[in-house]
Amino acid sequence: MKNNKAIIITIGDELLIGQTIDTNSAWMAKRLNELGIDVVRRIAVGDTKEAIVDALDDAIARAAVVLVTGGLGPTADDITKPLLCEYFGGKLVVNEVALENVKTLFIRRNLPMLERNRKQAEVPDNCTVLQNSRGTAPGMWFEKNDAVVVAMPGVPHEMMGMMEKDVLPALQSRVTTDTILHRNILTAGIGESFLAEKIIAVENALPDYIKLAYLPSNWTVKLRLTAKGKNELQLTQEIEQFQQLLKETVGEYVVGTVDEPLESTLQQDFTAQGLTLAIAESCTGGGIGHTLTQVEGSSKFFTGSVVTYDMSVKERILGITAEDISQYGVVSENIAIQMAQRVRDVLHTDIGFGITGWLDKSEEPDKEPGGTVWMAVAGKDKIASRKFVFPYDRQRNKEVAVQMALLMIWKMIHGKAD
């Protein structure tokens, strides 16, 4: 049964030489999944005819839905459109709606339209054309051997627009599928193996249509339950019972039960409690503020931050004295706590957070090795501080430090600060 199966093909040499990270596939997979369509394989190939045809043959043999992105641009390395036209035995003709769209875009940008842009409005005569409301390259919907092949631009927001507007609704009305449900539990402070031991009885009690996966990332472990079946109501009840059982079994290590990043949880919790937050970042350079403000509505609780990348800023804006820095060391518990308290006071918030550390090389190797980070969080009447020694490279240490910072703030406002 290939009926509810999908394969995603992404096209572009940049994916095969490591110049680009493929974010399109994950987004498309998530959306297909919500319709109950199983993505069984993702394939990335380069800009060559042989490789693309090979991938199409493979995909059509295995799946009823094949989504293709990339290679539809106006330049010579974009070969997907003529290739698909030949593959499905059609010929290129101008699509008037697409041509109007290209013309309008060029008028709006106040630029002359080039012959190569006019060519973007040409489409195979044997496909259904998907108009591109966010760019010049139209999408194409082909059918062959009970398989649907949809080609879309590789530019993420153009692809997303086309998916939302045309592709997903058309697929939904077409496929008859099982319901697929996911439920998650985010844990922190316990390793994957210990977690597995702790929940072994629950794991063994799962029926074969509910799967459990462990997703360790940035010093947290996410548990994901996936249920598949016909009866959505019954399936929902069952998966939520197991989620609840897991939550009780994991106990104190549970941080959340929704599949969203910690910054979203924080946004909801701060807003619900009516609290505000200020941050003094040193080694993370702005990464904590950046992460918090990825979420819409973060301005309701995140007042702002001071990035004290150079030592002088700790003095100038936060009023931490050079004497203290020299006495305790710039990477120390004392300075982290002062940063948390002073940024809270300077920015007039309820909670203050401070972080200071050496992400890679230490400038005080005799005192603290590279990777040493001190964090502190100052609440209304409680202060917590913690030292980490992160063992990775600069960028990964930063990434984990940001996650541990969010976790420490979360603990403070949940009365779990230690």
177 binds its own copies (CB under 8 A): no
Among 307, 336, 378, 405, binds its own copies (CB under 8 A): 307
- Shortest Å, Cβ 345 to its own copies: 11
224 binds its own copies (CB under 8 A): yes
Taking CB under 8 A as the criterion, which residues in 94-123 touch its own copies?
109, 111, 114, 116-117
22 binds its own copies (CB under 8 A): yes
Q: Which stretch binds its own copies (CB under 8 A): 84-92, 142-150, 264-272, 290-298?
A: 290-298
Which tokens in the block code for residue 321? Answer: 């004295």
- Shortest Å, Cβ 128 to its own copies: 25
- Shortest Å, Cβ 158 to its own copies: 10
Give me the long-range contacts of 143-147 (CB less than 8 A, separation at least 24).
Answer: 144/60, 144/88, 145/60, 146/2, 146/64, 147/2, 147/59, 147/60, 147/63, 147/64, 147/65, 147/66
CA distance 371 to 363: 11
- H-run or E-run covering 269: helix 262-273
What's the Cα-to-Cα distance from 69 to each of 8, 9, 58, 99, rounded to whole Å? 8, 7, 16, 21
406 binds its own copies (CB under 8 A): no
175 binds its own copies (CB under 8 A): no
Taking CB under 8 A as the criterion, which residues in 236-265 touch its own copies?
259
Q: CB within 8 A of 100, min separation 6: which ones?
A: none
- H-run or E-run covering 14: helix 13-16
Among 216, 251, 365, 369, binds its own copies (CB under 8 A): 216
Among 193, 231, 271, 327, binds its own copies (CB under 8 A): 193
Q: Which stretch binds its own copies (CB under 8 A): 89-97, 141-149, 231-239, 302-310?
A: 302-310
Name which of 415, 417, 416, 411 is nearest 265 in CA terms.
Answer: 411
226 binds its own copies (CB under 8 A): yes
Among 289, 329, 354, 357, binds its own copies (CB under 8 A): 289
- Shortest Å, Cβ 77 to its own copies: 5
189 binds its own copies (CB under 8 A): no
CA atoms within 13 Å, Cβ hemisphere of 337? 12
Among 234, 299, 321, 327, binds its own copies (CB under 8 A): 299
Please measure the distance between the N-terminal and C-terminal CA atoms of the chain and give it in whole angstroms. Answer: 53
CB 384 within 8 A of CB 405: no
Total residues at the site for its own copies (CB under 8 A)? 106
Q: How many helices (H) and strands (E) does the chain have?
A: 17, 17
- Residues 330-359, one symbol each (x = binds its own copies by CB under 8 A, - = not), give ----------------xxx-----------
- Shortest Å, Cβ 126 to its own copies: 27
